[in-house]
Amino acid sequence: MSRGHEQNKKKDLIERRRSNYEKELKRRIQLGWAAFGKLRDIFSSEIPQYLKTKVFEQYVLPVMTYGSEKWLITMGLIRRLRVNQRAMERAMLGVSLRDRIKNVEIRGRTGVTEIAQRVAKLKWQWAGHIVRR
């Protein structure tokens, strides 16, 4: 087999894997919104924000990041996760994009863990688990 043929096979394999990760990410985001929707009464209620944050971090974030330790993470995938997390945080606060509140302020109000940090933490935990085997 020629070297060029082997490189093309590797590129095809990487592209198929990336496509699978993108499909899984899309599914995880949909499931995250479904979990968020089930708890919409809590997120739109007058309970203190710190309780909403706890519910979000204990119920919605794990749904969105399940299996992420094995994903081939790209900046595009992280961006999609962040955008959806911010949209959920805005919904928790009852603000819209038209209110033009900066993301830093939204994060400060909610106190929710950045999803990219959670994914990175899960990846490191998984790596540690594999090393200990």
Residue whose C-alpha is closest to residue 81's, from 14, 15, 19, 27: 27
Q: E strand or H helix at 16, and its extent? A: helix 3-38
The answer to whether residues 115 and 62 touch, using CB atoms and an 8 Å cutoff, is: no
Domain residue ranges of the chain, discontinuous segments joined by +:
3-132
List the structure tokens of 120: 């990175």
CA distances to 13, 44, 72, 127 from 17, rounded to whole Å, are 6, 38, 8, 19
Range name among 36-45, 65-74, 84-93, 109-118 with the lowest pLDDT average? 65-74
**What single-letter DSSP state applies at residue 45?**
S
Higher-confidence residue: 8 or 35? 35
Hey, what are 107's tokens? 């994060």
Q: Using one digit for the tens of pLDDT, what is the confidence trace for 84-123?
A: 999 999 999 999 989 999 999 999 999 999 999 999 898 8
| Distance of alpha carbon 44 from alpha carbon 39, whole angstroms | 9
Does residue 78 sit in helix, strand or coil? helix
